[in-house]
Amino acid sequence: MAGEEIVMDSVSDDKNFSRFPACVRLKQLAHAPYDLTQPEALNGKRLEAYVCRTPHFDLLYGTQRIDEAVLECLQDLADQSGVIEQFKQMKQGAVLNRIEGFDSESRQVLHTACRDISSASPKAPEAVAQAKRELGKLAAFLNDLDEKRIVNHRGETFTDLLHVGIGGSDLGPRALYLALAAYRRPERRVHFISNVDPDDAAAVLNGLDLSRTLVNVVSKSGTTLETLTNEELVRNAFKRAELDPGRHFLAVTGENSPMDDPERYLRSFYMFDYIGGRYSATSMVGAVMLGFALGFSQFQEILKGANEIDMLAEEPDIRKNPALLLALLGIWNHNFLGCETLAVLPYSQALVRFAAHLQQCDMESNGKSIDRQGRELNHQSGPIVWGEPGTNGQHAFYQLIHQGTTTVPVEFIGFRKSQYDQDILIQGTSSQEKLLANLLAQSLALATGQKNVNPNKRFAGNRPSSILIADRLTPRTMGALLALYETKVVFQGFAWNINSFDQEGVQLGKVLANRLLGHLSARRQDDSYSGADTDMTGWTLLKTARAFPAGQDE
């Protein structure tokens, strides 16, 4: 028995993040991290050495608090935790969405298959075949739109698409649409409804010409409350306009879900349970809307960019694998230097919603407290991710990043060229140059700080940052950027030995909300109903918030 226990422990310890020899050593190194404020700390040799160049993005990380010893340990951590091996297994269809020994989703994790569509020998042939089948359906549908085989009842083309989804069915697709609006087909626009807030739908519907609008309803289960509620709101609007929803509504859903119904939808496109919502932007979840807006070939460019990162991510040398390097630098700042948050600050207004997508992708994936064996973690898992575009943020929250009492690691994202090429020279430089110069200057200022006799003009420095920079934000670089962050998050989860693919933490709120809705519904039908007997807390909270319609709460 004792022998067995030891074997169990030793098996477990193999996966325990805190006990990796690399982590023990990193903890020591964290007592005296590289001091960026020293003269010559940011010398040319260092800045040039700490760059990871890829076909799209360069990752500059000389302004992180690392040196050769730390980088070697981070390489050891990658090796000891076997992140590359796990990533390869993931791409081949290993059942990684599970908690060993406990009831869990027990699913494969195959978002990478969506974009592995050009390989002669794909890693996950079945999933790739499914992805190709759906892409084929989509290409045919988009072609029917272009050739005016699918038109409204008056024979007109569709100019607008209303995308209805929430969470992963909203944030990623929306971030991509906004990022690539410069590449939009000029005659086509997209609108989004996500929130169960009825004002969200009302604000969008007011002013839409429904007769020329397609509605794309996205829900894997076909049962998402917000999405079904909003779909019903929109269907009612179509009925009031005496339009046949069957000519306008599309479904993106699981095969055989309640939404997979040709009677109610013009077309159904399928998503599969091996792709989690927050990793689904390159599946049909994003494809239908983006294909409509940008055209099919531009959507393929997104897939190409993402696939290039998926391939690069198999590289075991951390200095050549930007997703892995981002993951490990994040772990260094978070687990060893003790920073709770991460600011992602794109110097591109088009990326205005990219941080909101990352909040889901990262925080839903890695905001966990147990490991893949169901044991409580003895280390920090995912950070709080937040951010807004620069230079706007410089005039807002950067004050705290520079002079606050909390250290906020930053990941800057920038581009050398603008999307529209509409620029102007003022004081000898273009706006795009001003944008980029500000990004680089912020990184320097955070690192070096500044001494001054006036304490209010002092900057402590040693605030770490990285810079991701590409030539231009295009569909291809956007696909690469998306995959970079998806893969970073996955790598961190592998290193921490957590399941980055489930989201049990959203369940309790749902259950309690339904209980409260039960009270509201029962009270609406029966003034004498009281839920206080069975649910004193919920009932009292409803009363305290005066949540019952007027006249009913007393």
Rounded Cα distance between 231 and 240, Å, is 14
31, 147, 395, 554: the catalytic one is 395
How far lies 71's CA from each of 23, 26, 199, 317, 331, in Å? 12, 10, 50, 11, 12
Mark residues 375-394: x for contact with a second copy by CB under 8 A, - for none.
xxx-xxxxxxxx-xxxxx-x
Q: Binding to a second copy by residue 69, rule CB under 8 A?
A: no
Burial class, 537, CB count within 10 angstroms (exposed 0-12 / middle 13-18 / buried 19+): exposed
Q: Identify whether 153 is a catalytic site residue.
A: no
Burial class, 538, CB count within 10 angstroms (exposed 0-12 / middle 13-18 / buried 19+): middle
Residues 411-470 that bind a second copy (CB under 8 A): 414, 416, 418-420, 422-424, 426-438, 440-445, 448-450, 454-460, 467, 469
The region of 72-80, 155-163, 257-265, 360-368 touching a second copy under the rule CB under 8 A is 360-368
Strands, E assignment, 177-277: 189-193, 213-218, 249-254, 267-271
- Measured at the CA of 340, the angle between CA 67 and CA 80, to 5 degrees, comes to 50
Q: Shortest Cβ distance from residue 422 to a second copy (Å)?
A: 4
Q: Binding to a second copy by residue 507, rule CB under 8 A?
A: yes
The region of 83-91, 115-123, 148-156, 363-371 touching a second copy under the rule CB under 8 A is 363-371
The region of 79-87, 122-130, 209-217, 342-350 touching a second copy under the rule CB under 8 A is 342-350
Angle between the 475-496 and 68-81 helix axes, to the nearest 10 degrees? 80
364, 402, 411, 488: the catalytic one is 364
The region of 1-9, 116-124, 220-228, 259-267 touching a second copy under the rule CB under 8 A is 220-228
Rounded Cα distance between 317 and 314, Å, is 9
Residues 254-283 that bind a second copy (CB under 8 A): 277-278
Nearer to a second copy, 68 or 420 (CB): 420
Among 145, 208, 520, 529, binds a second copy (CB under 8 A): 520
Burial class, 285, CB count within 10 angstroms (exposed 0-12 / middle 13-18 / buried 19+): buried
Q: Binding to a second copy by residue 480, rule CB under 8 A?
A: no
Strands of the 189-193 sheet, one edge to the other: 189-193, 160-164, 213-218, 249-254, 267-271
The region of 150-158, 226-234, 261-269, 320-328 touching a second copy under the rule CB under 8 A is 226-234
Q: Identify whether 314 is a catalytic site residue.
A: no
Cβ atoms within 10 Å, residue 457: 10
Rounded Cα distance between 201 and 215, Å, is 12
Residue from 262, 220, 260 nearest 245 by CA: 262
Among 95, 117, 145, 181, binds a second copy (CB under 8 A): 181
Residues 182-211 that bind a second copy (CB under 8 A): 182, 194-203, 205-206
Rounded Cα distance between 90 and 490, Å, is 10
239, 320, 457, 510: the catalytic one is 510
Nearer to a second copy, 256 or 378 (CB): 378
Q: Shortest Cβ distance from residue 348 to a second copy (Å)?
A: 6
Nearer to a second copy, 136 or 404 (CB): 404
Helices (H), 449-525: 475-496, 507-525
Among 19, 25, 30, 42, binds a second copy (CB under 8 A): 42
> Mind telling me the catalytic residues?
364, 395, 510
